[in-house]
Structure 1
């Protein structure tokens, strides 16, 4: 298995150097960020899914959108930290599932949401990051709207995401990279090896 933790830290330390970045990384180490899933039953619904997804989004952004002269730090911040809101967000629980082979009901583990700070999705990531270091406006907007049309505010009829994408190309790039990682790079990551929770 790849060492996603070490890979994340290497990319982070190489690219993110602004004041407070070290304190943010130290805080991340106190959370479940490096072992948590990226979702309960979709992409990365497995141990280490969140850090794997964060690295994939960063790599998709760099591969498809980065051009010479742009800020590599901004790309690293957006790619690696856009889903910071999912740290300490999930917990392992159990449910009863009928074993088709035996006909018996069995308790099986699964991930469920246990949000300790119900502050939204992208906006929560921005809020948590800015506890430690300042974001540029384009970075904050990109992280806030990285869910695009899947964001609750958009489904409620907000035009803010359209305005954000028109004004900040970095926001469009992060959204497309997030979709690329989720639907193209992470297919088949909805199960967990070594006896950890398995999600349908």
Structure 2
């Protein structure tokens, strides 16, 4: 993984949207450690720089889905702007910037069957326990990014049903309505799933199934 190359591509894609507040967002992400953070603690891209790599993977997948939808359903794609696909897909997981910390975990050696110390990441939500998608939206707004409605909703609901409080009728209705009214929600959700479950899955991940 080339972290500097990924960082440059990430910034270039964001700046290509010419959206007000983008430079403030980039500055805050760099200050807060986004480009060094992992994408997860023990699953996909749980390495330094993994969060930026994951964000780029989601953006690449989202743009391909968007372009494919132009042929499958031109009417719905007409409701979505390319710049919105870039913004929502690249920034959907900025909520993860400050939750990981280096730690030592116990890992089972596949050869010996013995448990041994292994460097990895732990998770803490102490800094800003606001949730997942909603935290990303709030952070971006606080950074000064002029987000549009469909971008906020796509980021908020990018986890799909996994981001739902299943005890909340209001949550279910909001999620269903956002997905039906704003095609960008489905584009980003599908892209995130493709990136995490296919593009970033390793042979080790498959062995552990």
Structure 1 unaligned spans of 5+: 192-199
Give the 3 Å change call, closer, same or farther, for CA 18–100 of structure 1 in structure 2. Answer: closer
Query: Distance in 2 between the 1:124 and 1:57 partners?
Result: 18
* Superposition deviation, residue 104 in structure 1: 7.6
Give the 3 Å change call, closer, same or farther, for CA 101–127 of structure 1 in structure 2. Answer: same
Give the 3 Å change call, closer, same or farther, for CA 140–98 of structure 1 in structure 2. Answer: closer
Give the 3 Å change call, closer, same or farther, for CA 98–174 of structure 1 in structure 2. Answer: closer
Give the 3 Å change call, closer, same or farther, for CA 154–185 of structure 1 in structure 2. Answer: farther
1:165 lines up with 2:165 in the alignment: no
1:72 lines up with 2:82 in the alignment: yes
In the TM superposition, what whole-angstrom CA distance separates every residue of 1:56-102 from its partner, at most 9, and x where no partner exists? 11111111114486422211111100001001110011134566778
CA RMSD of aligned residues (A): 2.6
Structure 2 unaligned spans of 5+: 71-76
Bigger share in helix: 2
Query: TM-score by structure 1 length?
Result: 0.85
Query: TM-score by structure 2 length?
Result: 0.81
Query: Distance in 1 between the 2:6 and 2:138 partners?
Result: 24
Count of aligned pairs: 192
How is 1:100-179 mapped onto 2 (pairs within 5 angstroms)? 106-115=116-125, 116-131=127-142, 132-154=144-166, 158-159=171-172, 160-179=174-193
Matched-pair contact (CA < 8 Å) for 1:95–1:110: yes
Give the 3 Å change call, closer, same or farther, for CA 104–39 of structure 1 in structure 2. Answer: closer
